[in-house]
Amino acid sequence: MVTVHDVAARSGVSIATVSRTLREPHRVSDDTRDRVLAAVDELGYRPNRAASSLRRGRTGVIALVVPDIENPYFASMTKGAQVMCRERGYELVVVDTSERAEIEDEEVRVLRSQIDGLILASSRLSDERLAEVAETTSCVLVNRSLESHAPGTPTVTIDEGAAAALAVAHLYGLGHRRIVYVGGPSRSWSQARRAKGIETAAHERDGLELIQLRDCVPTSDGGREVAEKVLALGPTAVIGYNDLVALGLLAQWTESDIRVPGHVSLIGFDDTFVTGLVTPPLTSVGADLRVVGDAAVELLIERIDGVSTSSHLIHRSIQPQLAVRSSTAPPAARR
């Protein structure tokens, strides 16, 4: 292992100067800088991060805690965070909690001394525990807010209300007047917002009937399970809690020779890459998840660096977009 001492010896300066050259190059004479950097290069020196962390009280590491890295939703978010971290010179540790609150809790504890900050995505922790964490660690919440317990905690949220409105407006514009929303887990933060947003948007429109289902398992199998029941409700269009649910509905219907969008239109939430995998490609509404990951990292770094709160919003709301594909069309003429 190459240390500051080796570099110092090689370039004929003290170890302090080596360190200074790397951290504060402007405080070193041109000549010295050149020699030190040359030595660094020749020896392939890289500062030992453990030593640096210990001394500076900073690790240069950010942790991103997600419920399930196999979920395309979090995979995309991770990608965004990763890219932004690299850009800003931080290392990213990704932790997968398998949707389990206890694991999340334990990981957060273990991580604490090893990181400069924490991004909790779709956290399963209670408001109380979350507030504790936010107090002891720089952290950013994604898809969650803590208005009551710790309003000062930065958050990145997707404007689910806007997303819902987009979906409803699209369907209404096509002429649909009877829509079923296949809702996700009642406890889910996103489900609450999506349901409410859809309800509100539906109310605003004349002659629009909305039927809500609840507690559909948020996977494609979950969608398959309720496919028949949904159809029995007689909608001309269906909104799925997320893309996976929508794909499940689509798959099951296709097997029963129900045509999409001929018989029913279908729209999903999140606009993940799976929308492009099927026929017809799924219309979906959602934010660019990489942007969400990006924003979370940026916000966290601001907090870590103690950038003044007022200059940038502490609560970032990401606007969703509607990606119109082939699973939505005007309703078939009623017989």
Partner DNA sequence: TTGAAAGCGCTAACAC
Partner DNA sequence: GTGTTAGCGCTTTCAA
Q: Is-contact 120 144, C-beta < 8 A?
A: yes
| Interaction mask 229-258, a second copy, x per CB under 8 A | ---------------x--xx-xx--xx---
- Scanning 106-114, 137-145, 175-183, 203-211 for contacts with a second copy by CB under 8 A, the matching segment is 106-114
From the list 9, 108, 61, 29, the residue with the least C-alpha distance to 300 is 61
Q: Residue 280 binds which one of a second copy, DNA, none, with CB within 5 to 8 A depending on kind? A: a second copy
Kindly provide the residue ranges of all beta strands, DSSP E only, lying in 114-220, ordered along the sequence. 117-121, 139-142, 155-158, 178-182, 209-213
Pick out residues in 10-49 that bind DNA (CB under 7 A).
Answer: 12-20, 22-23, 27-29, 31-32, 45, 47-48
Q: How far is the CB of 64 from DNA (least distance, A)?
A: 24
Residue 239 to residue 181: CA distance in whole angstroms? 5
Give CA 17 to chain center in angstroms.
Answer: 42
Residue 113 or 148: the one with the smaller Cβ distance to DNA is 113
Residue 118 to residue 65: CA distance in whole angstroms? 8
The residues, ordered by sequence, that sit 6+ positions from 309 with a Cβ below 8 Å of its Cβ are: 152
DSSP string, 66-84: ES-TTSHHHHHHHHHHHHH
Q: Which residue(s) pair with 96 in the sheet?
A: 66
Q: What share of the chain is helix, strand, coil (3-state, %, to 5)?
A: 45, 15, 35
- Scanning 79-87, 144-152, 208-216, 262-270 for contacts with a second copy by CB under 8 A, the matching segment is 79-87
Q: Residue 332 binds which one of DNA, a second copy, none, with CB within 5 to 8 A depending on kind? A: none
Q: How far is the CB of 203 from a second copy (least distance, A)?
A: 33
| Interaction mask 53-72, a second copy, x per CB under 8 A | xx----x--------xxx-x
Binding of DNA at residue 333 (CB under 7 A)? no
Q: How far is the CB of 169 from a second copy (least distance, A)?
A: 27
Q: What type of residue sits at position 283?
A: T
Using CB under 8 A, count the residues that bind a second copy: 52
Pick out residues in 42-101 that bind DNA (CB under 7 A).
Answer: 45, 47-48, 51-52, 54-57
162 CB neighbour count, 10 Å cutoff = 20
Task: Read off the tokens for 144.
Answer: 């969650």
Which residues lie near DNA (CB under 7 A)? 1, 3-5, 12-20, 22-23, 27-29, 31-32, 45, 47-48, 51-52, 54-57
Which residues lie near a second copy (CB under 8 A)? 1, 46-51, 53-54, 59, 68-70, 72, 75-76, 78-79, 82-83, 86, 91-96, 98, 103, 109-114, 220-221, 244, 247-248, 250-251, 254-255, 273-274, 276-281
